[in-house]
Amino acid sequence: MTRSRAWRFILGLPVALVAFTGCSNCVEISGDEALQKAATEIAPAWEGLETDSTKNWDFSAADTSTFDSCKAISWITIPTGDADENSPYDVALFHNGEFVRSAEARPYLSKPEVSRVSDKEIQIDRVWYLDDEHTMPKKAVATYVWNDDNSRIKRTGSLPPNDFAAGTFKPDAE
C-alpha cells in the first residue's frame, strides 16, 4: 500500500509542479531585461524627440515590478525624464514575457493607474481635466484583454480626448 502511494506521488509530481508554477509558456526574463528589449520598439514620447532628451522616456525610472513573464498580459509603466502630472506616460504591454505593443496609439498625459483584473486582463484608468486649473477631473477607463484566438490584445472602454495625448501616432495600437 505504501508503495502505491509513493508511485502516485511521483507520477503526480509533474502535474502539481505545473499547476503550482503557473503557465508553461514562461520566458526566463526579468522586467528590466524585457524593458531593455522593448525599448527599441517604443516610439519617442514626443514626435521628433532625440533619444537622449530628458523629455523622452526614462527607462531607468520605469516600474518593472508589474512585469510577470508567466501572465497572459502584464505591463511596465514608463515615465519621461522630467515626469510630472502633465507629462506623457507609456504603458508597455507584454504577453508571456514578450513585448506586444504600447497600450495606446499615443501616450496620454498624466500618470496612469493600472490594475490587474485577471491573468488575461488589466485596466488602465487615466484622469484628465476639463479646465486648466485641474478642478474638473474626468476619468477614462480602458480594459485590455489578451485574446488567445487571434493572439492579440484588445482594448475596450474609453480614452481621454486626443488633446491629452502626446507623441507620435502609432496606427498598430488599438
pLDDT given for residue 10 in this prediction: 52
Whether the per-residue pLDDT at 169 is higher than 90: the answer is no
- The answer to whether 169 and 106 have CB atoms below 8 angstroms apart is yes
CA dihedral 96, 140, 130, 174 (to 10 degrees): 60
The pairing of strands 113-118 and 88-95 is: unpaired
The Cα-based distances of 64 to 76, 115, 133, 151, 173 in angstroms read 5, 14, 32, 23, 21
With a CB cutoff of 8 Å and minimum separation 6, the contacts of 114 are 66, 75, 77, 91, 122, 123, 124, 125
Alpha-carbon span 99 to 135, nearest angstrom: 37
The string of pLDDT tens digits covering residues 79-112 is: 998 877 778 899 999 999 999 999 998 888 888 9
Give the 3-state secondary structure of residue 81: coil
- The answer to whether 60 and 68 have CB atoms below 8 angstroms apart is no
**Residue that wins the pLDDT comparison between 165 and 29:** 29
Which band of pLDDT confidence, cut at 50, 70 and 90, is reported for residue 22? very low
User: What single string gives the DSSP state of each residue in 100-128?
Assistant: EEESSSSPEES--EEEEEETTEEEEEEEE
- For the chain, give the percent of residues with pLDDT over 90: 50
Question: Mean pLDDT over residues 5-27, rounded?
Answer: 50
- The answer to whether 93 and 68 have CB atoms below 8 angstroms apart is no
Give the 3-state secondary structure of residue 153: strand
Alpha-carbon span 82 to 59, nearest angstrom: 12
Question: Mean pLDDT over residues 147-171, rounded?
Answer: 79
